[in-house]
Amino acid sequence: MEKKIIVITGASSGIGAAVVRILGPQGHSLVLGARREKELKQVAAASGTKALPVVMDVTVRKDVNNLCDAAIKEFGHIDVWINNAGRGILKPVLDLTDEDIDAMIKVNLKSVVYGMQAVIPHFQQRGQGHLINISSFLGRVPMVTFRSIYSAAKAAVNSLTANLRVDLKAKYPGIHVSLVMPSLVATEFAANSLGTAPIVDAAAPQAQNVDEVAAIIAGLLENPVAEIFTSPISADIAQLYYQDVAAFEENFKR
């Protein structure tokens, strides 16, 4: 595969770091963004490739723009941008505060918009590029009520990603826009979530291995698709949900 210049947000741990472990040994050049400097530099140092760590906060538009500028300054251009950073919350709808809502929208939705608006003009100038937005299965099927505003923010990511893809398709056929929807993944994501509702055990049998999810994301570089679920059963569940929402909610056991 042709070696690419790839930007990854939320790269200091979890899915982002797992993607680095796959793409680094393949010889791609990486630009890694995250808030935690120590962890980010460790991931970059262990990547096995040329990796530029950039300490930044995806909820700050200036930081996201600076990440884009740093990548172009270091490598000349960007081939792939992966909006991966995000955070969960464990609160049902009626318990949400203004602060909860604002925090989830900033980190899960506005950060994605900032990334799209930073890199897509660069892709348009080049006539090519690949944007990959990491969303969640809960953005398609809101089946875990204590992740209410997280699910809502990810649903908005799904919608904006589809809208962008349609906007670009006719004039910029060389720009790919992909949406990835993981289900439960064995990372520290749940432990780092805000709120105090029950935490889903990341070691539960239904949890996907983070490296398996990362491999699916990495595979998009060679075979871009519009949308992909990382769990084999997610598409079937989503189909059942949209066939009859009321029946699904009645029968679903949390």
Q: What is the pLDDT of residues 208-239, one digit of tens each?
A: 899 999 999 999 999 999 999 999 899 999 99
Q: What is the pLDDT of residues 105-148, one digit of tens each?
A: 999 999 999 999 999 999 999 999 999 999 999 999 999 999 99
Domain coordinates in residue numbering, the chain: 5-251
User: Cβ of 109: how many Cβ atoms within 10 Å?
Assistant: 18
3-state secondary structure of 157: helix
pLDDT tier, 203 (very low <50, low <70, confident <90, very high otherwise): very low
At residue 253 the predicted structure's pLDDT band, cuts being 50, 70 and 90, is low
* Contact between residue 92 and residue 197 where contact means Cβ atoms under 8 Å apart: yes
Domain spanning 5-251: CATH superfamily: NAD(P)-binding Rossmann-like Domain (3.40.50.720)
Q: Would you name the residues annotated as active-site residues?
A: 150
What is the spatial distance between Cα 103 and Cα 81, in angstroms, rounded to a whole number? 23
Q: Which residues pair with 179 in a beta bridge?
A: 133, 227
pLDDT at 206: 64
DSSP label at 185? B
Beta partners for 5? 29
Could you report the per-residue pLDDT of 164-174, keeping only the tens digit for each?
999 999 999 99
Please give the average per-residue pLDDT across 12-41, as a whole number: 97
Give the C-alpha separation, 210 to 183, whole Å.
11
User: Distance between CA 155 and CA 135 in Å, rounded?
Assistant: 8
Mean pLDDT along residues 3-11: 98
